[in-house]
Each structure stands twice: as structure tokens, then as C-alpha cells.
Structure 1
Amino acid sequence: MTIKIYRLIPILLLVMTSCSGSDKEQQDIVAEWTGKEIVIPGELGFQVGNIPVDYDFDAADFKIVTYVDSAGCTNCRMKLKDWDKVIDGFKSSPDVDVSFLMIVDSDKREEIERLVKDNDFHHPVSIDSAGLFRKANPLPSKPEHQTFLLDADNKVIALGNPVQNPKIRELYAQLIFDSQDHKFPDETSSLCKNAVRSLGVVNRGDTITRLFRLNNNTESDLTLQEVTPSCHCVSAKADWDVLKSGEYADIEISYVADTIPQQFHRYADVWFKERPNPQRLVLHGFVK
């Protein structure tokens, strides 16, 4: 991992320099922050919407943490709908555990919670009214440098905002998935436009069902071979056998929430006789 990271540093420098600032400034920022530990204060609380959650942020293989201060238009700075798409893209693979956290430095809790609700954002947010994160981590001054990709030990391996810069998003994907060929679900030949769904916070024992629409934009009919759930708590229902060229069909995926409060990531693979790889349909969120 270390060798790969240092090989990608020149790419990170090129990407960041193309956005703003001088070469020297960007080089200094990368040199200062690469390998530096980001401290997540223990006093910070986590919530999805307005519901507090038990969030083990440190347990993941990789973490993305983005800091938003309250200066100017908070809604513009948060970019919740854009982040929703990017987060779901990184959640598309169950083989790598990626945690996300948005830290909002503001004492206007009701306003932040309203923005989260209005944007239908179902990912962890910490409303840091005491400025604990900023005090623990003297951050770069520019907002575009206040988003970090961390390793399992909370050490910075890249910085930059993947929402604002597609090149940063590609770099994050290379580091996380150890591949230059990883594509986000909406950038591939996926049969499903919204193959990753965040359920937010669900209650223990609840059964949650979502419909996924598959569109066959190929020139050949596709024959449903099998649907394989990731575990016994996931089931699938399809009332069709063939997805004809140019047509669409729905698959119903149900998840029975685990009895243990935790973050969850479940999926079902839809196999077709004519395709070597399945279409993966993902549900993720928190059990409370």
C-alpha cells in the first residue's frame, strides 16, 4: 500500500495544481498532509438525519472525511445530493469497507438537520457546534483541501474533494479499489441506474423492501439465471424470466434488519445466462 500511495503522489499533485493555486503551494500541502493522522474527537456525536447512531468510524479499511464550516451558504458548501451519489459509488463493492463522515462546524443544529432532511441525505453527519474537529486538526485554509481519504489508521493518503473534482474521485477509486479500471455504477454498462440504495436508519427486526429497475439497453435478450443474496437476511423477488432488448423489469429486494445495532451493507447478485458477471443491487445503512 505504501509504495502505491507514493507512486500516486505525483498524480495527486497534478490534479490539485490544475484546480487552483501555485505548484509550490500544492506541493507543500501534499507533503504536509500525506501520512498525517486525522483525529476524530471522541466527543463528536454522529447522526443520520436527526437520529443519533452508533457509528464505528474507525473500523473501515478506508475513510472519507469532509469538513464544512458555516461561512457563506452552508447548503452550497455541503453539496449533499452530489455527495450522496459519490458515497453510493464507493459503497458499490462489498469487498472494501469505506466509511464516510461529514463534519459540519456550526451551532445551527436545526438548520443543518433541515438541510439534511430536505436533501434526503441518509449518511453520517457530525454537527460540531464546539469546533472540536477544527481544534484537533489545524486544517488547510482552502475548502478544496479540507476533504481527506484516510487509511485504516486514520492516516491521510490523499486529499481533495471528489465531489468537486472528477480527477480526485478517480484517484480515490484507484487507491480504494487498487485498480485503475474501477468505475462508479452510473459510469458503466450497468443495467440498473440506481444499483446502490441508502436506507438510512432502520429499526431492528424491520423488513425493508425496495424495487430496482433493470433496463436492457443491449441488442440481445437477457435470460434470468439466478438471484443470489449476500446472506439469509436478504431475499429477492422477480416475476419475469426474460428481460427483452429495449425493455425494463423490476426486481424486489427485501432486507430483514439485524438484531444488533450496527452499520450494514447487504446485496443481491442478479445473474443472466448471457452475461459473465452479475448485476449487483446494494442496500446499506444503520440498524438502530
Structure 2
Amino acid sequence: MYRMIVIPLISFVICFSLFSCYEHDEKKIKRLVEEWTYKEIDFPSVPIFTKFARDTIMGYYERDCDYKILTYVDSIGCIRCHLSFSAWKPFIELLKDTCPSCNVLFFIHPMSRKNIEYLLTKEGFDYPVCIDEHDSINKLNHFPIETIFQTFLLDKNNRVVAIGNPIHNPKIKELYLNIITGKKSLLKEIDSRTPTTVVLSTYQFNIGTFNWGKKQFVEFSFTNSGDNPFVVEEIYTPCGCTTVEYSKEPVQPGGNLKVKVEYQAEHSGHFDKTITVYCNAEGSPFHLKISGNAK
């Protein structure tokens, strides 16, 4: 009982400090984290999990697990960006190797089942998902509308012990793994790396108008203006249409890091994408934006 109470309290403190880095109202963040920590999640009576939205996986939801990661995705906005299949794949494989007693539950409320089936097949995402066409789980729980608050770490009794998306924030990922594996590093300093400062060439880049079938390339430059090495921990892209290339070696003071971005439009229309850079520089994470019109 003591451990069951302590973990939610610790995760509440850490989650609040992690989300405080975001451009959100601090009081709202505190209220959301406080409201959901140790809240019991209600599930539909018979959720059906399938592979590629076709083949039913029997017994997946019923697995006896010490922890579950629940992620809810609704039909608002770019559903492919919200799902981030390419980022979930390595994280799930990591869980299989290090935390086999943890299950990942995807509940997707799509506008079109065919679109989800197409996305799952195209991305080769063969992990079980629940296509919740009636939005049943959201109706039972009334999840926050902010996507960063629609992923939860649950204990054996389906109570929330942490909140946040581990594939969009390396510190949330570390928090989840520490809780699941029982490591004692829950109380360690959130970020013990020696900080530095950087000068960014630009925060946003407008590609302009281009043929949607042609790949586009842009480059962002980080100059280390501080006294310590500059280290990029993770760079997250919104979906598979955007990829990045950069050196993972520390950049010495005065040095420069180039982040090369490749964008491949999937159809014509205006786009606005955000790339998030987590690093040891003051102001991290940095949000880089690319936009344009694909014809």
C-alpha cells in the first residue's frame, strides 16, 4: 500500500515539472496532472484489438500485466501525426525486452476505419490496436482534449500513476521506464546534464509553393554559444512525412550543428509541421516549424 501511494505522488511532482517546460498555462497543467493522477480508468466491456484493423487478436486486452500504457487518439487533426507509428515501434520493442509485464493499449477513434487500415498497413505497424469507432473509452473517461495528456501509465488496477506521451518527451519516457522497472532514480534530478546556450539560425522556415510529389529539404543550424558541450538528446518529428538527419556527437563551444529536414508531402494542400528538439541548452525543447503549400 505504501508503494502504491508513493509512486503516484512522486510521478505527480515529476510530471508537473516536466510539463511546466511546455507553452501551456501552469495552473491548467497542475490541475490536469492532479486530477488524473491515481484516477481509475474505465474500459469498454469487450474491447476488440486487431492487427492492421482486420485480424482480431484474442486475449490481448485480458493479459495479466503489472503496468499498462494507454494511449487514446481521436479523429481531430492529422491522425497520422498523433499516432507517430515510427516512434512507437522502437519504444514497444524496448518494453518487450526490458519490461515484458507492461502492455501497450492503443484506442483509436477514427473518422474513417479504411483510412486507419491503410495507415497501419502502409507503416507496417503490426501491433494490436483497438479501433474504437463509437469513441467508447473517451465517453467513459472524458479525456483531456490536449493530445499530450492523452497517454497514461496505469498500474495493475488501471489507476493512473503517470501521464504524458513517452515518445514525444524523453523525460516522460524515462519516468515511465523507471516506474515500470522499479528503479530508484524516480527522485533524481530531472536533468542533471551541464547546460549550455545556443544560437539558432531560425525557428521557422517557409518552403513556399512546390510540386507535392517532390521532396523538399531545409536546414536548421545550432551554434553553441556557451561554455559546455552541446548535446542533442532526441529530435521528434510529427509523422513519417518528415525526417531529420543530424550528428549525435557533442558540439564543442563555438561549434555548429546542422539539422537537415526532409519533407515528403502525401497530397496537395497547405502544411504546417513542428519538429521538437530536446537538448541540454537553455530553452529546451526547441520547436522548429516548417510550412508551405504543396500543389
| Shorter-chain TM band | 0.5 to 0.7
Matched, 1:99 2:116: no
TM alignment of 1:142-181, pairs within 5 A: 142-179=146-183
Number of residue-to-residue matches in the alignment = 181
Superposition pairs for residues 42-81 of structure 1, below 5 Å? 42-49=45-52, 50-58=54-62, 59-81=64-86
Letter of the 1:141 partner, please give it: I
The gaps in structure 1 that reach 5 residues or longer are: 183-288
2:22 matched to 1:12? no
* 8 Å Cα contact 1:62-1:149 kept in structure 2: yes
Match for 2:81: what amino acid?
C
* Unaligned ranges ≥5, structure 2: 187-295
Aligned-residue offset at 1:181: 6.5
SS at match of 1:91: helix
TM-score by structure 2 length?
Answer: 0.58
- The CA deviation string for residues 100-152 of structure 1, in whole angstroms up to 9 with x for no partner, is 11111114111101111111112111111111111111111201000000000
Counterpart of 1:119, as a letter, is E
Q: Retained in 1: the 8 A contact 2:42–2:140?
A: yes
In 1, Cα distance between equivalents of 2:109 and 2:8: 30
Looking at structure 2, the residues matched to 117 and 57 of structure 1 have their Cα atoms a distance apart, in angstroms, of 21
Report the AA paired with residue 34 of structure 1: T
1:241 is matched with: none
RMSD of aligned residue pairs (Cα, Å) = 1.7
Matching of residues 115-134 of structure 1 within 5 Å: 115-134=119-138
Q: Residue in 1 aligned with 2:94? A: 89
- Percent of aligned positions that are identical: 32
Aligned mates of 1:140, 1:167 — CA distance in 2: 21
Q: How far apart, CA to CA, are the structure 2 residues paired with 1:43 and 1:165?
A: 31
Residue 114 in structure 1 maps to residue 92 in structure 2: no
Q: Find runs of 4+ consecutive structure 1 residues off by over 4 angstroms.
A: none
Q: 1:107–1:128: 8 Å Cα contact kept in structure 2?
A: no
Q: Distance in 2 between matches of 1:129 and 1:173?
A: 31
Q: Deviations over 1:159-208 (max 9, x none)?
A: 100111111001001110011569xxxxxxxxxxxxxxxxxxxxxxxxxx
Corresponding letter in the other structure for 1:178: G
Q: Which residue of 2 aligns with 1:25?
A: 28
